[in-house]
Structure 1
Amino acid sequence: MQIKISYKQLESSAAIDEVTRNKSEKLKKYFRGKLNLNWIFTVEKQQHIAHCHLTGDNIDFYAEANTDSIYTSIDQVVHHLDRQVGKSKQLVTNHHKVA
């Protein structure tokens, strides 16, 4: 899994990088093969915004969260992506079942 982290109007931090990489590992369980995660962190009017774009072989997911804390935003984005990926995998699995 390749993870790219960018900051806009926010100082980069080793703590944020570490938390982001650890939380991103949760998404790895759904896929085999190459994954790309592109994280962008910004601050606008006291709000911390986290954007994440997950791409890979025939997949493309996006989520963002806007909260008072950057760590809460990261948690929410990972949760949203986890739900999106889970639903997508469930649709593919259920599609192939014979009634």
Structure 2
Amino acid sequence: MTDRPRSAPMPAALRTGRPAPHPARSIRCPHCAAAPGARCTTVSGRHTKTAPCPARIAAHAQQTAVCPTCQVAPGTPCHDDGIQRPDNSSVHNRRYEEAEEMAWPA
């Protein structure tokens, strides 16, 4: 047997077997209608997804974060120079970042 150097300790999230759930799971999914706290499902509803639907992540960002790009308050849809965005549920990329910083501080 060879003498190998010891590896780094295992992170706590891996030891417990479950990473922290995505903060978007705190709201109902507008795409698949998954309940708050429940995982998103496939179109058939038979299988759960490992990550939330993009629409759920956008809805979470819209409900919780101020948009640094268009300066709208939480709960207000983003706009482009006063013009409503083509998809009312779409948010600016900076708003996603702001919501993630609020949910998972460094």
Higher relative contact order structure (alpha carbons within 8 Å, sequence separation ≥ 6): 1
Larger CA Rg, structure 1 vs 2: 2
Higher helix share: 1
Q: Same fold by TM-score, threshold 0.5 exceeded?
A: no
The two structures have a TM-score, normalised by structure 1, of 0.27
Q: TM-score, normalised by structure 2?
A: 0.26
